[in-house]
Structure 1
């Protein structure tokens, strides 16, 4: 679990450095909450506008994450939602969750990708059929992907899957791979610091799988689309990547079951080349240049 201490120390050390500057607008992302209070103090002292950008709302998930102690996270999240009337949500899902908390006039501005940079990166020499990129935590449901690979293997004995990332579930997932005798089919790369290496591996794969049930946006799925990969993800109310993954266009939506994920993987491998252009076209709409224009327009409204 992430450390509260780090967030508190960062928030405390931020103020003396921030107060020396004179910004017209200060935009603070909501998580890990405490820097938002520093930003609020700055905006009050300097009489400047405060914008908070929300990537996701945890709400009752706090209790699932921390048990009874989750009440503190739940309360802090709600207090932060009252700090300003200028709020940005990166998805419609997050906007609706903010509105349920009583926040009004939320502007949706999605996350963006550096399309030109992604386009310039060459494919890796290490090829695969399926790739996952993300933290190895329970919400990502990588165990479902591994079980799905076991099913896919019955039709494709040499199927190859890369799992890129690290996290607290790594040991359990490694044991599951051994239990299902998939050592020759699934490779864990661990955490890769170099962004170009990650994109290169995506470009050398055929299908991207994101079996997560909780995504504030799911930018990694958009990056996969930019690499020409159809995205297979879970149809779930807390998975915001469903907002841009269109079923049978730039990807496939499925239930949280290894059998359905396996079926969609096989479908994605079959139709991958035919949907490649659609994947890239949809990802291009989220290029940083377009998103920056949206943010700049919002800032101009805030200034006036």
Structure 2
């Protein structure tokens, strides 16, 4: 049987409220990188909040951007805004249904837009694909208390909408299987622009440790501060630690750094606008430490890998970053305690041969995840879904 679709004939729509580069995060960057490369051979649309001046619809770098509503605040009191998600999903309806698309790739978060995207599948006969970043399940109760029951129900309902689901790691695919989703599940991991990263020079700094990410509670940056205190006490010398990022915990973390007596060893750079500057600081470090207990597939670890910088992450049932670190090869997976983090940091600092070995392993892993490889995998998923 002849296929209706070929690799050069697809009309693809990405749906996500936050749009890169106005909002910077793993999902935003993933969509931007994939859309830019897919636009070389396909007609690609991106539906999000309107962060730009001028017409609601514009074409840039081969991508047709649709600004469906004004940019509402994503977070309220440090948590993703439910009201914002509902407003975006409602505003998305008309702009999305106007377009004749073959595939609608809607991101799992913040759930409600997936329902709107399902309407496009039903009305315009497209195929809905849901890209899945994290499975929360019982974590909803930790996040929202008793109200978490509603969040859990919405997550379960969302999972039933897309026939095809794309988890961004095997770890997340396993979590989806626990919820009963095992058919038409195709893992497509995150990627990096490997060659471009090699061209960025290191910052004029000598960091022992770098952290990059949002400063929120589940990131457990306070464990990194405690680990720095432990290490400096053992070594009798100071460390140079760089923390890149901002968020609701920043003031508390700076206060904790003072309380632990490590504020002279830790520099909070805050939000860094240019991606090149973030990469430059990663390159200037001996290792990347991510104490977070909740992650999907962190781009920051992949970028560190591509830069030859090994990573330390923590072993936790809800932490997908353990799937991105090959323990003992590209970095280490440790117990979620400041003491365990401190032990591995010291081990790496004390052994230049180990540093070199981990650096080589990390770089090889990063190169294997170049976006060109990831885009090829994604195209295959789209075609299989359509055909």
What TM-score do the two structures reach when normalised by structure 1? 0.97
Q: Does 1:248 align with 2:328?
A: yes
Count of residue pairs the alignment pairs up:
304
Within 5 Å, which residues of 2 pair with 1:32-43? 32-43=110-121
Map of 2:378 onto structure 1: 295
Residue 223 of structure 2 is matched in structure 1 by 144
Counterpart of 2:178 in structure 1 is: 100
Of 127, 130, 135, 2:214 maps to: 135
Are 1:234 and 2:323 counterparts? no
2:362 counterpart of 1:279: yes
Structure 2 vs 1, CA of residues 266 and 252 (structure 1 numbering), >3 Å: closer, same or farther?
same
Once the two structures are superposed, residues 267-297 of structure 1 have per-residue CA deviations (whole angstroms, 9 ceiling, x without a partner) of 2223223321211001111111001110011
Q: SS of the residue aligned with 1:19?
A: helix
TM-score by length of 2: 0.76
2: CA distance, partners of 1:41 / 1:6: 20
CA offset at residue 201 of structure 1? 0.4
Ranked by relative contact order (alpha carbons within 8 Å, sequence separation 6 or more), the top structure is 1
Tell me how far apart the structure 2 counterparts of residues 268 and 232 of structure 1 sit (CA, whole Å): 10
Question: 1:233 touches 1:252 (CA, 8 Å); kept in 2?
Answer: yes
Contact 1:252–1:268 under 8 Å retained in 2: no
Structure 2: where are the runs of 5+ without partners? 1-78
SS at match of 2:207: coil
1:123 aligns with 2:202: yes
1:146-170 CA distances to partner (integer Å, 9 max, x unpaired)? 0100111131513100111111111
Report runs of 4+ in structure 1 exceeding 2 Å deviation: 268-271
Question: Which structure features the higher share of helix residues?
Answer: 1
Could you say what the CA RMSD is over the residues aligned between the two structures, in angstroms?
Answer: 1.2
Secondary structure at the aligned position of 2:322 is classed as: helix
Unaligned runs of 5+ in 1: none
- Residues 70-103 of structure 1: CA distance to partner in whole angstroms, max 9, x if unpaired? 1111111011011121111111221122122121
Cross-structure match for 2:279 = 199
Q: Distance in 2 between matches of 1:227 and 1:268?
A: 17
Between Structure 1 and Structure 2, the one with more strand by share is: 2
2:61 paired with 1:61: no
Deviation of 1:13 (Å): 1.6
